[in-house]
Amino acid sequence: MNHGLKKAAPLLMGAALLTACAGLNPPQQAATDPAYQARLDQFTAHRCNDRTAGALQGAGIAADSVTELYYTEILDTTNDRVSRYIAWMRLAGQPGQLVVENDGMTCRAIQIYTRFGAEVDGVSSY
């Protein structure tokens, strides 16, 4: 393979990935209604509650529908730092869970989805 092409290949792959993701909309980042964060703070005083609350509000999920919340951590295996915080929530009258994945450094909401039978209009289920 040409040496110049070897160097360019990772850049081309990155450009292709960015192009493929261009249509994705990230979750809302901050709640404008303080009731969302107040509700989450009732369950746990986690540093990512504000961003998780923003994702809930942005998805149109009522603050008082959250009945349980806990976070898990995903560690970066190269340096043992937290790479992601995952907020797991139960919603009133729903089986399964609503999940918000947050960046480990900034708490920026990366994605929101449901698991194990929970259903929320406009939110993907896995």
Please report which confidence band the pLDDT of residue 2 belongs to, taking 50, 70 and 90 as the band edges.
Answer: low
Torsion over CA: 121, 118, 111, 43 (sign): positive
Query: Would 3 be classed as within a structural domain?
Result: no
Query: Would 20 be classed as within a structural domain?
Result: no
Instruction: Inform me whether the pLDDT recorded for 68 exceeds 60.
Output: yes
Over the chain, what is the mean pLDDT? 86
Please report which confidence band the pLDDT of residue 3 belongs to, taking 50, 70 and 90 as the band edges.
Answer: low
Query: Would 22 be classed as within a structural domain?
Result: no
* Number of domain units in the chain: 1
**Residues whose CB falls within 8 Å of the CB of residue 56, separated by 6 or more in sequence, listed in order:** 31, 36, 40, 63, 66, 98, 100, 112
pLDDT digits (tens, 9 = 90+) for 13-60: 554 444 344 445 678 787 889 999 999 999 999 999 999 999 999 999
Query: Would 17 be classed as within a structural domain?
Result: no
Query: Would 10 be classed as within a structural domain?
Result: no
Q: Where are the alpha helices (DSSP H) in the chain?
A: 3-21, 34-43, 49-58
Query: Would 1 be classed as within a structural domain?
Result: no
Tell me which amino acid residue 5 is: L
- Host domain of residue 62: 27-125
What is the structure's pLDDT at 37? Answer: 94
Query: Would 95 be classed as within a structural domain?
Result: yes
